[in-house]
Structure 1
Amino acid sequence: MPLDRLLSTLRPRLERIYSGRADEAAAAIGAALAPYASGPVVGDPATTGPVATDPVAAGGAAAPGSRWTERDVVLITYADQLRSAGRSPLRTLGDWLRRERLAEQINTVHLLPFFPSSSDDGFSVVDYLRVDPESGDWGDVEALGDDFGLMFDLVLNHASQHSAWFQSYLRGEAGYERFFFEGDPAADLSQVVRPRSLPLLTPFDTAAGTKHVWTTFSADQVDLNYAEPAVLARMLAALLEYARRGARIIRLDAVAFLWKTPGTNCLHLPQTHEVVKLMRDVLDRLAPGALVLTETNVPHAENVSYFGGVGAEGVGDEAHMVYQFSLPPLLLEAFSAGDASAIRGWLANLAPPPPGCTFFNFTASHDGVGVRPLEGLVSDARLASLVDAMRARGGLVNTRRRPDGSDAPYELNISYVDALAPDDADRAHHLRRFLAAQAVMLALPGMPAVYFHNLVGTQNDYAGARATGQNRRINRRKFGWEELDGALAEGSLQRAIYDGMRDLLSRRVECPALHPDAAIELLETGSDAVLAFRRTAAGGETLLCAVNFSAEAVEINFGKKHTLLPGEHLWQSGPEARAKQSSR
């Protein structure tokens, strides 16, 4: 797309973001986009590899019709998740996925940040355009992309204090004086929504004296200043470079905190939404096969605001996908309470996303299980009970600082396997509960994502958490090749989980009723302990999903009686899946 046409398209957004500096912003962004404006960066979203298409011939933006199917399943993993002698971790990961023939059930791999980083397991980025040599190189990433679609993170709220950008800021170099967001320690910043119980401002010695820099997540992660157009220009260049390198999905990390205005809560500000929409505009025109996924671990109503509105082309105009952040804690709460009422109520009120958009469903990731998304969905008493139940299963709790200065639970750090351990310690019951939770996630509308440790059934890594002092390390264990083979030995719980997950995934990708856009209907079950819903594809294919969250057997009847054991799930297709609940 000609650069002048693209900048003309972006101009209204730049004026809303930068007002009187819109001309300056257009010039900076034009220079950043110029290397990518001569042709499409990445193409056909229906393939796992980048196939070039002409975005101008396609009307200037990607059509929504072929963006996803029931075969779309994402694996979330670290680039250095597996190690073996003589191979880089990225090569090792690719070789293991091929040996296990996982491309038959998973078509996309989310590589968590694989760039040089100084902390937070990759999320304190030193260089946005290089692969950490400890993990491999761009050739290794490309080789993985030969067999799988790829998903990358754009860590756009903050950079490492050890990055060249921040070091240039400290030295007062031209062009970097306003690159990072400064705050006044005497100002009242109590309204700012915090994801951590840490100081918001961190002092740094600069060429111009001591400056207090905004550090939303940690003192090592210094917040970028998007009020400076050069910052947005750099991030747009990184966005397009990731698409050029094969990223089918680009995750906008911690995007809710992007724009800061002291005196506000600095969360979901209008400029933040405009930046996301601008990134979507750029990708739709220069990388029409790429999808924008926003990561906003907040209450549900705030989370879905990142779908935006329906634009002139009849599709959502902001993120293509948003995380279903309420799902992981709701599943844990249902099993903990033995009661499906909260998750059923949430589903009953879940509005469909705009056309051309979908949810990104998951149960676990590299982060803990966030509990802010439970706000308004469960009572304080039930939330407290859930937190206690997770602590009883070895979980650790990270907190956030409230405006009044008190701390509140922010996330539960625990392996999802251990989080679903039953009180009776029965292994068969444990396995049923874990697979039932995954079955619900895989059966809901949207694109599913499976964390590596859920795929292979990893339990709490206490040693990792203790050694680093980081609670999140409890669910971030790294394996050697032979070590993982041993963990997946026949007869182990991990093997049973792995086999069960492979079976669920095989069924998922062959079921048209589980297309991300297929309709969903909640079903009456006659039991507070059971959640049941039906998915129906455009072609009429159906699938019934039912789960017993209680510790007692429950009978259900949808044309045929079934006794669901404690923690058991049912996936049923065919005529029975179309039946209504019958009286017993």
Structure 2
Amino acid sequence: MYEQVSHSLLNDILIGLDPKVDCDDLKHFYIRLGANFYAIHSLFHQLYGDRRDFRLQMHKLVDVMARQYTNRPTELRQRDLAREKDHDWFLSQKLAGYTLYCQEYADSINGMHSKLDYLQELGINLVHVMPLLDGPKGRNDGGYAVRDFRKIDSKYGTLQDLDRLSADMRSRDMLLILDVVVNHTSDEHEWARKARKGNKKYQDYYYTYSDRKIPDLFEQTMPEVFPETAPGNFTWNEEMGKWVMTVFNDFQWDLNYKNPAVFIEMIDIILFWANHGADVIRLDAVAFLWKKVGSTCQNEREAHLILQLMKDCCQVTAPGALFIAEAIVAPVEIIKYFGEDAVNAKECEIAYNATFMALLWEAVATKKATLLEKGVRSLPTKLDRATWLNYIRCHDDIGLGFDDNDIREAGYDPQAHRRFLVDYYTGQYPASTATGVAFGRNEKTGDARISGSLASLAGLEAALLNQDETAIDISIKTIILLHSMIASFGGIPLLYYGDSIGTLNDNTYLTDENKHHDSRWVHRPRLNWENAEKRHIEGTVEHRIFHPIKKILAIRKQIPAFADLNNREMLTIGNPHLFAFLRFTSSGIHSRVLVVANFDTAPQTLDLKELEAVNVFGHSQVRELYSDKVLSTRHGQLVIPPLGFYWLQL
């Protein structure tokens, strides 16, 4: 959009552009900058327009974008052009993701090369390597307390090692996800060290106060993220003589985005990692980016403006790179992190579907899909050019963030039902075989979240301990059922390392002084590669889990209806144990697929008459795509096996 004020400023900026900015071909940069500059200027003005140095800060921002464009490798610039032409490439059903800790998975970045074969065997082509950046030893929140945003932690390797890994992955058509922690730094970061020494410039990079007046105002409405281990939202720093905002932990200082210098620093860092091969940037803790007295300091409008501005800047310099919003918030809020545009994602193209994840665990516990169906129906429709990451487990805990109204409509009391789920997954409920651990228990409210590996939460740990073959079979079927759901629901399935071989809880964290207070370490073990080798031995637990998941991912890639094009229709059926939805596309051999899942441990019957409204069956038999079997529908019914699923071609 042409607008005189912003483009007059752009002309001035380009005339004064840093002479060191040089490139053989700036054509695409100038085209993208011109196309995006009105939006960039408008957003920057909304956030920082009342500052006297506004024009200077705008100049610095464009200088960063230009410099990082010139630093962008030719191969990545060519990939940008290809993705601009195929702009819906990330909505394909052919993507399958995997999250891992580098050290726990492969010892080091260099060790990753030989372990990529395992991922390709499973069918993975999108790999999230958890935080690699330099951080303090000990208290670093699993890598999310960053000491240097441009340095790889030496325990993982070097920046050159990462460059070689990203090149290897590109040669295999595998995509790389890297984290940028945008909300906070370690208290050992250079900015924090200078702030402690009294440098006013860097004190303004954070929220710092000489007395409790403003912190007390914040605390009136700010919830506690970790009430058990890190109560409160401010920490007194003796050396600085000030209170500093520390929403997560006392060693993680929250960045102050009311200062444009902070925004410019962080967009420079995001583009730095895009230039080192990150296809996708996972932006950590985006819900917390803007702090305002009198609010919860989460999901503020300005946080969305910051993300929109980050996206517009990235589209100028590295348009092939995508953003993931790490925002584990209510469905009505999470949908906003895609952006407000009716067609395109203007903030983050990808977001975690935490609600679907939690609803799946609720269905496993109750053996009913009642709340699952209601909760999914309450999910707002996502934008066309956006997609979910559907997952069962991740490095974090399981929060029970269902909507209270949905819980009531499903026939439960919200508080009592959440308490039941915590008891169920921590093994306190009499009929439960789960061996999870409570996390973040709030003694004031009784609320808690849940830690634990997929296999242990699904009952495999207890079943193996008791040598109960029936229980082992039930837990394995549960694991496979859950993977079938994240593969077919709509979005990118994201597997957590170890889940495809049934990795159990690791309680050794209890003996580590830096980890024992955080139960999430129970599901962050070192991957046992001897156990992984058992995936080749028929009859082993590892084989019984790995190969069905591999098959699920392989078949998913052959079904165009599983691409994420807002092409899912939820179906209401009378049997409360069954969950059903229709996936469809405009053409192709698998243009309509009916997905049906049974969350009960007994067979359940689907009455096909209930599906007449969507004209599901016109023949006496139907092909099931996962098993490649033909099922009879002559009697108007289908029996779904215990903890089984069908992908029915219509």
Which category describes the TM-score, using the shorter chain as reference length?
0.7 to 0.9
Q: From the superposition, tell whether residues 375 and 285 of structure 1 become closer, same or farther in structure 2 (CA, over 3 Å).
A: farther
User: In the alignment, is residue 121 of structure 1 matched against residue 156 of structure 2?
Assistant: no
Moved more, 368-377 or 226-235: 368-377
The aligned amino acid for 1:457 is G
Contact 1:40 1:288 in 2 (8 A): no
Q: 1:93 aligns with which of 88, 109, 112?
A: 112
1:328 to 357, 363, 378: 357
Q: Which residue of 1 aligns with 2:547?
A: 499
Given that 1:73 and 1:105 are in contact with CA atoms closer than 8 Å, whether structure 2 keeps it comes out as: yes
**Paired letter, 1:80:** Q
Structure 2 CA distance, aligned partners of 1:388 and 1:400?
12
- Aligned-pair CA distance for 1:483: 6.0
Q: Is the 8 A contact 1:41 1:243 kept in 2?
A: no
Higher RCO (C-alpha 8 Å, min separation 6): 1
Q: Is the 8 A contact 1:40 1:52 kept in 2?
A: no
Cα deviation, residue 487, structure 1: 8.4
Partner residue in 1 for 2:456: 418
Q: How many Å separate the matches in 1 of 2:198 and 2:536? A: 53
CA contact (8 A) 2:285 2:326 kept: yes
TM-score by length of 2: 0.79
Distance 1:321 1:212 in 2: 35
TM superposition shift of 1:139? 3.3
Moved more, 174-183 or 337-346: 174-183
Provide the C-alpha distance between the structure 1 equivalents of 2:59 and 2:254, rounded to a whole number of angstroms.
23
Contact 2:535/2:547 (8 A) holds in 1: no
**What are the equivalent positions in structure 2 for 1:163-178 lying under 5 Å apart?**
163-173=189-199, 175-178=201-204
Mapping of residues 267-286 of structure 1, within 5 Å: 267-286=298-317
2:68 maps to 36
Superposed displacement of residue 157, structure 1: 0.7
Per-residue CA deviations over 1:471-518 (Å, capped at 9, x if unaligned) read 000110013644643688654323321222111111112221211226
Tell me the residue number matched to 1:368.
397
3-state SS of 1:51 partner: helix
Q: Distance in 2 between matches of 1:174 and 1:428?
A: 62
Matched, 1:571 2:647: yes
In the TM superposition, residue 409 of structure 1 has moved relative to its aligned partner by 3.1
Instruction: Indicate if the aligned counterparts of 1:432 and 1:568 stay in contact, CA closer than 8 A.
Output: yes
**Partner SS for 2:354:** coil
Deviation at 1:114, TM superposition (A): 0.6
Q: Flag the 1:204–1:529 CA change in 2: closer, same or farther, 3 A.
A: same
Q: Distance in 1 between matches of 2:478 and 2:43?
A: 47
Residue 581 of structure 1 corresponds to: none
1:15-54 residue pairs with structure 2 within 5 A? 15-21=45-51, 22-38=54-70, 51-53=78-80
- Matched with 1:477 is 525
- 1:298 maps onto 2:329 in alignment: yes
Q: Which residue of 2 aligns with 1:154?
A: 180
Q: 2:605 aligns with which of 550, 555, 559?
A: 555
Q: CA deviation at 1:164?
A: 1.4
Conserved 8 A contact 2:384-2:565 = no
Supply the distance in 2 between the matched residues of 1:306 and 1:41 (Cα, whole angstroms): 29
Residues 50, 246 of structure 1: 8 Å contact kept: no
**TM-fit CA distance, 1:69:** 0.8
Counterparts of residues 66-215 of structure 1 (less than 5 Å): 66-83=89-106, 89-98=108-117, 100=118, 102=120, 105-118=123-136, 119-145=140-166, 146=168, 147=172, 148-173=174-199, 175-183=201-209, 184-186=211-213, 187-188=216-217, 189-197=219-227, 198-206=231-239, 209-215=240-246
What aligned pairs does 1:142-541 form with structure 2 within 5 A after superposition? 142-145=163-166, 146=168, 147=172, 148-173=174-199, 175-183=201-209, 184-186=211-213, 187-188=216-217, 189-197=219-227, 198-206=231-239, 209-310=240-341, 314-373=343-402, 375-378=404-407, 379-392=414-427, 393-399=434-440, 406-421=444-459, 426-467=471-512, 468-469=515-516, 470-479=518-527, 481-482=529-530, 484-485=532-533, 490-517=538-565, 519-540=567-588, 541=591
Whether the 8 Å contact between 1:413 and 1:472 is mirrored in structure 2 is yes
RMSD (Å) for aligned C-alpha atoms: 2.6
- Give how far 1:232 is off: 0.8
Residues 487, 510 of structure 1: alpha-carbon distance in 2 compared, 3 angstrom cutoff: closer
Maintained 8 Å contact 2:532/2:542: no
Larger deviation, residues 68-77 vs 175-184: 175-184
Q: State the one-letter code of the partner of 2:641.
A: L
Secondary structure in 2 matching 1:356? coil
Could you list the runs of 5+ residues in structure 2 that have no partner in the other structure? 1-28, 408-413, 428-433, 609-616, 618-632
Q: Shift in Å at residue 568 of structure 1? A: 1.7
Question: Distance in 1 between the 2:404 and 2:186 partners?
Answer: 31
Deviations 1:363-409 (A, max 9, x none): 111101122355544222221111110110222222276xxx93453
- The runs of 5 or more residues in structure 1 that have no matched partner are 44-48, 579-584
Checking the alignment, whether the CA contact within 8 Å between 1:41 and 1:52 is kept in structure 2 is no
Aligned amino acid, residue 543 of structure 1: V
Residue number in structure 2 paired with 1:46: none
| 1:224–1:518 distance in 2 versus 1, CA, 3 Å | closer
Tell me the distance in 2 between the aligned counterparts of 1:101 and 1:229.
41
- Indicate the percent of aligned positions where both proteins have the same amino acid: 23
Count of equivalent residues: 553
The whole-number CA distance in structure 2 between the counterparts of 1:475 and 1:430 is 17
Deviation at 1:94, TM superposition (A): 2.7
> 1: distance between equivalents of 2:74 and 2:277?
7
In structure 2, distance between residues paired with 1:180 and 1:249: 27
**Structure-2 separation of matches of 1:410 and 1:62:** 46
Residue type of the alignment partner of 1:110: H
- Counterpart of 1:546? 596
Contact kept, 8 Å, 1:24 with 1:229, in 2: the verdict is no
Q: Does structure 2 retain, via aligned residues, the 8 Å contact 1:520–1:533?
A: yes
- Structure-2 change in CA distance of 1:440 and 1:266 (3 Å): same
Q: CA deviation at 1:352?
A: 2.6
- Could you say what secondary structure the match of 2:50 adopts? helix
Moved more, 457-466 or 529-538: 457-466
Query: 2:544 & 2:483 partners in 1: Cα distance?
Result: 14
Contact 2:384 2:566 in 1 (8 A): no
Contact 1:260 1:266 in 2 (8 A): yes
TM-score (norm 1): 0.88
Of Structure 1 and Structure 2, which has the larger fraction of its residues in helix? 2
Which deviates more from structure 2 when the two are superposed, residues 174-183 or residues 294-303?
Answer: 174-183
Contact 1:81 1:93 in 2 (8 A): no
Equivalent pair of 1:193/1:267 in contact (CA under 8 Å):
no
Q: How many Å separate the matches in 2 of 1:413 and 1:344? A: 24
Q: Secondary structure at the match of 1:426?
A: helix
After superposition, the Cα gap between the structure-2 partners of 1:526 and 1:377, relative to the gap in structure 1 and judged at 3 Å, is: closer
Q: Quick one: which amino acid aligns to residue 381 of structure 1?
A: A
Q: Which residue is 2:13 aligned to?
A: none
